[in-house]
Amino acid sequence: MARVVILGAGVSGHTAALYLKRRLGRKHEVVVVSPGSNWNWIPSNIWVGVGRMNPAKVVFPLAPIYRRKKVDFRQARAVALRPEGDADNPRAGVDVVYTDPKRAGQTERIRYDYLINATGPKLNFAATPGLGPDTGHTVSVCTPSHAVEAASHLATVIETLKAGTPQTLVIGVGHGTCTCEGAAFEYAFNVEHELRTAGVRDLAEVIYLTNEHELGDFGVGGMTFSQGDRRITSEAWLESLFRERKMKAITQAAVTEIEPGLIHYRQIDGSANTQPFDFAMLLPPFRGVGLEVFDRNGAEITDAVFAPSGFMRVDANYEAKPFEQWTADDWPKTYQNPSYRNVFGIGIAFAPPHAISRPYATPDGIAIAPAPPRTGMPSGAMGKVVAMTISDMILSGATLPTHTGSMGEMAAACIASTGTGMLSGTAAAMSMSPIVPDYSRYPDTLGRDPKETTGDIGLAAHWVKRLLHTMFIYKARAYPLWYLIPE
């Protein structure tokens, strides 16, 4: 009997767990280690953050699902990997500290034959002084509880506006190296939609503050859409949308500090600026969760397995070279760790080889460099790819990964909500193929397939976004035929 341990139960880890158990059956063990007890459909947190969705609709408890599927669920936080085992036992292991209230604080070394690192990110609010809801002066929509708090603050702002007092709302990213600009974009437009619905839009100034070099970059270097016979950049597409919705934007910005009611930021030209605010939702940068790695003798070898960012090294080309020399081929295909072939890193937990958007910095070296997004559709696809590979290794003795899924080949679709409502909602539907531009395959169309890279705004995209919410929660709950729903 083989044991596969999965660290993390987000989109990629949970997807991997369900596919592994489906293929491996009862003869092999699948163990999921996650510090939280719930699964969260993060894309819908923005609707919780404007008070339009009950937080109970974006989460569900994992334990009953795993009990039904015969997956061994441990509510615990992984703290260290021992891929060579230890002095007492050569079998690889992972050290965990239980967060389950019944066993809180207890530790255990869980042995494994295969390990999937799908921990997701650490929300690094500490990277910017004053950032975040806990010790800072801004709100967040990264978790359901953060989103509930954001909705409460937004309701207060709307009441203040109704009393006739102008308000400034700043929404965006809180550091020069953030990713997930798409989520900030969605939240900004949903807030704007709520202000209009409440009849207080005229007194509010809504500002999108981002590290993107231009609007529509989204950390993927922007897109050029085919719309019938014409081509339009995502930048021009969104500039029109911003003007239509009377929203302002600050681009090329690295937030450096937040005081109560005042954001300090630097821009690429070196200028130091401030932006007053009454309400600010700024996303944090991500880093790895801080797993340590030890060899059999107990010596720390973390740097051999994890990049300095804390994300896991996989089968990518991490050679240092100028941005212009990176190619889509440098991106990982199997997500296998090069040092330990039974260890895989997927979702946000794997270390990207390079930025997709051109990185910039201020003259004195403050990075303004959106990190590559690796959430949602590609994250689920990676979970399936690795689950298939590991199950082939276990069931048929494959020695090499049997499935691949590179972001340099994968397509992705992103439905960015710009306001909710069955007949009044809108969303921007964007698709791109591949995610990482491949300039050798598509030299004349900025690295992407023009037939598969499209953009459309309208009510239909909102319906799709709402449908995805229902479908992915159905899939994550592992209801009948869940596996027919693609990642």
Binding stretches for another protein (CB under 8 A)? 214-215, 235-236, 239-240, 242-244, 247-252, 267, 377, 381, 384-385, 403-405, 409-413, 423-424, 426, 429, 431, 433-434, 452, 454, 456-461, 463-464, 467, 486-487
Nearer to another protein, 309 or 454 (CB): 454
The torsion defined by the Cα of 208, 209, 214 and 218, in degrees rounded to 10, comes to: -80
Distance of closest approach, residue 175 Cβ to another protein, in angstroms: 18
CB closer to another protein out of 304 and 411: 411
CB of 463 to another protein, least distance (A): 5
What is the helix (H) or strand (E) element at residue 190, kind and residue range?
A: helix 181-197
Q: Minimum distance from CB of 429 to another protein (Å)? A: 6
Q: How far is the CB of 273 from another protein (least distance, A)?
A: 9
Look at residues 433, 28, 10 and name the one whose alpha carbon lies nearest to residue 224.
Answer: 433
Is the Cβ of residue 302 or residue 404 nearer to another protein in the bound state? 404
Query: Smallest distance from the beta carbon of 276 to another protein, in angstroms?
Result: 14
The DSSP call for residue 312 is: B
CA distances from 33 to 4, 109, 354, 425 (A): 11, 12, 29, 38
Cα torsion 3, 9, 13, 19: sign? positive
Hunting for tokens 């239980």 — which residue is that?
98
**Residue with smaller CB distance to another protein, 28 or 384:** 384
- Report residue 483 as tokens: 């596996």
Q: Residue 71's beta-bridge partner residues? A: none
Closer of 143 and 267 to another protein (Cβ)? 267
Q: For another protein, give the closer residue by CB, 179 or 431.
A: 431
Which CB sits closer to another protein, 267 or 336?
A: 267
**Which is nearest to 189 in space by CA: 172, 214, 176, 173?**
172
Euclidean distance between CA atoms 66 and 350, whole angstroms: 25
Residue 429: C-alpha distances to residues 140, 234, 412, 450 (Å): 24, 11, 11, 15
In the complex, minimum distance from the CB of residue 314 to another protein, in angstroms, rounded to a whole number: 15
Q: How far apart are CA 179 and CA 270, in angstroms?
A: 21
Helix (H) or strand (E) holding 187: helix 181-197
Q: State the nearest-atom distance from the C-beta of 404 to another protein, in Å.
A: 7
Which pair of structure tokens corresponds to residue 313? 């090294």
- Cβ nearer to another protein, comparing 293 with 429: 429
Question: At its nearest, how many Å lie between another protein and the CB of residue 284?
Answer: 22
Closest CB to another protein among residues 223, 412: 412
Q: What is the DSSP letter of 294?
A: B
Q: Which residues pair with 293 in a beta bridge?
A: 81
Nearest approach in angstroms of CB 247 to another protein is 8
Rounded-to-integer distance, Cα 171 and Cα 24, Å: 45
The two three-digit tokens of residue 318, written as one number: 């991490």
The amino acid present at 190, given as its one-letter code, is N
Identify the residue whose tokens are 């600010």. 280
User: Which 3 state secondary structure label does DSSP give 286?
Assistant: strand
What does the DSSP 8-state code read for residue 306?
Answer: B
Our CB check for another protein shows the closer of 198 and 232 to be 232
- Tell me the closest approach of the beta carbon of residue 444 to another protein, in angstroms: 21
